[in-house]
Amino acid sequence: MIVVTGKALAKPETFDEIRRLSLEHVHRSRTEPGCISHAVHIDCENPLRFVFVEQWADRQALTAHFQVPASREFVKTLRSMLSEPSTIQIYDVTELQMP
């Protein structure tokens, strides 16, 4: 499984539009093959920071997600509305079952 986390800091005047676009993006992404989960949250310590958490079945599914035109457009639009560069981390994980 692949886990992706990302952070994006909005300008106060772009917050509402970023929220709208982010929700549209995660709802669309959830329908893609290999998407286990895809969510966006607001940071409790900095209410202008969006936090993305995604789970993908494998690297192939994530690579396909990055190639979807709507995903590419979302990233391009998001970058123009932020107060600082966004960050993304990609992890290859093994799920452990607890006894």
- What are the pLDDT tens digits along the chain (99 aa)? 999 999 999 999 999 999 999 999 999 999 999 999 999 999 999 999 999 999 999 999 999 999 999 999 999 999 999 999 999 999 999 988 888
Total-model pTM: 0.91
DSSP state letter for 48: T
51 Cβ contact partners less than 8 Å away, ≥ 6 residues apart: 5, 6, 7, 40, 41, 42, 43
84/97 Cα distance (integer angstroms):
38
95 Cβ contact partners less than 8 Å away, ≥ 6 residues apart: 1
- Structural domains in the chain plus CATH codes: 2-92 (3.30.70.100)
Element (H, E) at 42: strand 35-42
